[in-house]
């Protein structure tokens, strides 16, 4: 007789991202599915990493992160959002934004708690909640522009509501929160014990001169928030798996209790390199226009197809309806396109716990022009 596992995630299997990337490799398809760039990152930044390694910065960084990096981030946040953050007690460097979100949930959730999640949602949220014994209360964003129905949010609040997680710019849809959304959120949580987890990994990948509504802009909201960021998404180096969480002192204290017994610390040379690179404000201030050019180029190319693209105001992604092409389920079409047309996408139903299907696929446009051209040439034949 051998021991068996009583799974904490009994309904979780292989993710659609792994499935689609595997199919893309097998069928040599153009991969517009998983969110990663296929173009080089900054040569200056990679050179700074090499320099850090040559200079001996190869041992453990402090548990909360390399001190000069946290100081540089505090300066950046004050510059961008006019909020003073203490680098010693309110910033923690993490191995990626997803890790930061998981650690924030783990720091606050107890069995029986409820968390409001907006769907379609980044696929880690609900498993993060479930593994901590809590329950996700899902609210669908309003199709087709994927805005939040705040009346539905108010109606979903119960004495068990522990947190609300927001994500702007939004993965998978590219929608963004406006100032009026933040005011609605403020109205709902004021006077409650509800925490906010704000997923802002695409903070700089926002388009059309829209200001990013970071929770850090709003001191009264930030006092109840964990705000999670990603260097990988900002600097097109997703394989670095480096991010950070900003939270008030009391919240950071609990966050670090989780962090210190999990990863403990993150890769030191990249932290040292980013400390220097952050001094160049243009390197992050220009990211939105850089990625917007890719969005606009992809939108222009896709006019040659029968897909109907939705708006995208941020992130790596844009969604498109295929109602003029097929009435088959989005997962079936995504698999068929990979095998037969040679283009991998992600079915948006994968971002709903009940696989709600609006016949929409997600495309990643964070690719080289020739990659986008090759993909659209194939899609135009459908």
**Listed residue (276, 168, 182) closest to 229, CA to CA:** 168
- CB neighbourhood size of 168 (10 A): 26
Residue 15 has pLDDT above 90, yes or no: no
Alpha helices, H only, the chain: 16-26, 43-54, 67-81, 97-108, 125-131, 150-156, 179-189, 219-222, 231-234, 249-260, 268-277, 282-285, 287-302, 330-336, 369-379
**24 vs 27: CA distance, rounded Å:** 5
Final residue of a structural domain among 223, 258, 279: 279
In a domain, 48, yes or no: no
Could you give the percent of the chain with pLDDT greater than 70? 100
Whether 8 is covered by a domain: the verdict is: no
**ω into 205 cis (within 30 of 0):** no
Does 229 share its domain with 267?
yes
Tell me: do 187 and 272 sit in the same domain: yes
Tell me the CATH number at 75: 3.40.640.10
Give residue 145's pLDDT band: very low, low, confident or very high (50, 70, 90).
very high
| Mean pLDDT, range 292-304, rounded to an integer | 98
CA distance 45 to 51: 10
For every residue of 130-165, DSSP letters joined together read HHTT-EEEEEEPBTTTTB--HHHHHHH--TTEEEEE
Same domain, yes or no: 272 and 289: no
| Residue 258 counted as domain residue | yes
Q: Is 1's pLDDT higher than 90?
A: no
Same domain, 114 and 228: yes
- Is the domain of 272 the same as that of 291? no
Identify the weakest region by mean pLDDT among 10-24, 142-156, 158-172, 204-218: 10-24
In a domain, 11, yes or no: no
Structural domain ending residue among the three candidates 264, 279, 294 = 279
How much is the mean pLDDT over the chain? 96
For residues 95 and 113, membership in a common domain is answered with yes
Share of the chain above pLDDT 90, in %: 95
Q: Is pLDDT of 34 > 90?
A: no
**Is residue 13's pLDDT more than 90?**
no
Q: What tens digit of pLDDT does each residue of 174-232 get? A: 999 999 999 999 999 999 999 999 999 999 999 999 999 999 999 999 999 999 999 99
Q: Are residues 22 and 128 in the same domain?
A: no
Q: What is the mean pLDDT of residues 67-77?
A: 98
Enclosing domain of residue 79: 56-279
Examine the domain organization and report whether 27 and 119 are in the same domain. Answer: no
pTM value is 0.96
Band (pLDDT 50/70/90 cuts) for residue 253 is very high
Query: Which pLDDT value is given to residue 363?
Result: 98
Pair (64, 35) in one structural domain: no
Tens of pLDDT, residues 324-377: 999 999 999 999 999 999 999 999 999 999 999 999 999 999 999 999 999 999
Residues 270 and 289 in one domain: no
| Residue 93 shares a structural domain with residue 24 | no
Residue 252 within a domain: yes
Q: What is the CATH number of the domain that holds 354?
A: 3.90.1150.10
Domain contains 50: no
97-108 vs 249-260: helix crossing angle, rounded to 10: 110
- Give the number of domains in the chain: 2
Q: Is the pLDDT of residue 11 over 90?
A: no
DSSP string, 109-131: --TT-EEEEEES--TTHHHHHHH
243-246, strands of its sheet edge to edge: 91-94, 243-246, 225-230, 195-199, 161-167, 114-119, 135-140
What is the rounded distance in angstroms from the CA atom of residue 123 to the CA atom of residue 352? Answer: 8
Residues 182 and 118 both lie in one domain: yes
Q: Which is it for strands 91-94 and 243-246: parallel, antiparallel or unpaired?
A: antiparallel
Domain boundary (251, 279, 307) is at 279
């Amino acid at each position: 007789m051998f021991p068996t596992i009583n799974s904490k995630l009994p309904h979780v299997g292989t993710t659609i991202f792994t499935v689609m990337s595997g199919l893309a490799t097998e069928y040599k398809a153009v991969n517009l599915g998983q969110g990663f760039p296929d173009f080089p990152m900054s040569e200056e930044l990679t050179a700074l990493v090499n320099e850090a390694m040559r200079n001996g910065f190869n041992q453990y960084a402090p548990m909360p992160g390399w001190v000069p990096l946290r100081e540089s981030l505090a300066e950046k946040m004050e510059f961008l959002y006019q909020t003073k953050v203490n680098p010693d007690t309110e910033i923690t460097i993490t191995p990626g934004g997803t890790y930061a979100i998981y650690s924030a949930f783990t720091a606050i959730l107890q069995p029986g708690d409820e968390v409001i999640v907006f769907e379609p949602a980044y696929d880690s949220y609900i498993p993060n909640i479930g593994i901590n014994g809590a329950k996700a209360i899902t609210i669908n964003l309003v199709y087709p522009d994927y805005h939040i129905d705040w009346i539905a949010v108010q109606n979903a609040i119960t004495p068990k509501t522990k947190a609300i997680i927001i994500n702007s710019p939004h993965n998978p849809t590219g929608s963004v929160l406006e100032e009026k959304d933040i005011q609605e959120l403020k109205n709902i949580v004021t006077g409650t014990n509800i925490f906010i987890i704000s997923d802002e990994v695409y903070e700089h990948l926002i388009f059309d001169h829209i200001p990013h509504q970071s929770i850090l802009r709003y001191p009264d909201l930030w006092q109840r928030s964990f705000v999670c960021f990603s260097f990988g998404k900002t600097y097109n180096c997703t394989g670095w798996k480096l991010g950070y969480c900003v939270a008030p002192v009391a919240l950071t204290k609990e966050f670090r209790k989780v962090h210190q017994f999990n990863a403990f610390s993150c890769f030191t040379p990249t932290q040292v390199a980013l400390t220097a690179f952050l001094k160049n404000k243009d390197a992050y201030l220009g990211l939105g226009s850089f990625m917007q050019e890719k969005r606009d180029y992809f939108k222009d190319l896709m006019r040659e197809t029968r897909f109907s693209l939705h708006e995208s105001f941020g992130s790596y992604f844009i969604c498109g309806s295929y109602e003029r092409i097929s009435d088959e389920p989005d997962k079936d079409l995504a698999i068929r396109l990979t095998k037969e047309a040679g283009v991998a996408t992600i079915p948006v139903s994968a971002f709903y716990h009940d696989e709600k299907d609006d016949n929409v696929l997600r495309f990643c446009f964070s690719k080289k022009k020739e990659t986008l051209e090759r993909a659209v040439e194939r899609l135009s034949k459908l």
